[in-house]
A = this chain, B = another copy of it.
Amino acid sequence: MDTSDLPANILDPDCPSRVIFQRIGDKWASLVVQVLADGPIRFSELRKMVHVVTPKVLTQTLRTLERDGLITRTVHAQVPPRVDYELTELGASLLEPLTLLRLWAEDHVPSILKARDAYDDAQDEAVIRD
């Protein structure tokens, strides 16, 4: 088999690109990045934008994004505290492919839901035939 044009590194479980690729698919990370596209935002506002996320999980997500250099965290010496999160240049560069993927998902929702219905119907018929 010819594998020369395959993403050999992504298929290699030990390659960092695989880990990074999967981080993008993280439940919250990609959502946060897309919210930050509009500019800096503070913790509590972010929570409101991405519904239902608990502070613990949001903090975890933000820390890994910060660690990976995709966002910056700016603490303002105020009381009550104010912390702003903002995309770095690196984070902003992720926005383009991520947006394409989001558009794909939004565009193909009907096709996928239709495929699911057809599949489930076929399954039901198969059960009846048994």
Name A's B-contacting residues (CB within 8 A): 1-3, 5-7, 9-13, 16-17, 20-22, 24-27, 30-31, 34-35, 37-38, 45, 49-52, 66-70, 90, 93-94, 96-98, 100-106, 108-109, 111-116, 118-120
Contact = CB atoms under 8 A, between A and B. Distances in A.
Nearest to A67: B119
A14 B120 CA distance: 21
Question: How many monomers of this chain does the complex have?
Answer: 2
A16 B113 contact: yes
A31 to B, nearest CB: 7
Contacts of A31: 10-11
A105 B51 contact: no
Contact of A6 (B6, B35, B100): B35
16 contacts: A1-B38, A3-B49, A7-B102, A7-B106, A17-B102, A17-B109, A21-B30, A21-B101, A21-B105, A22-B25, A66-B119, A69-B115, A90-B111, A93-B108, A94-B108, A96-B100
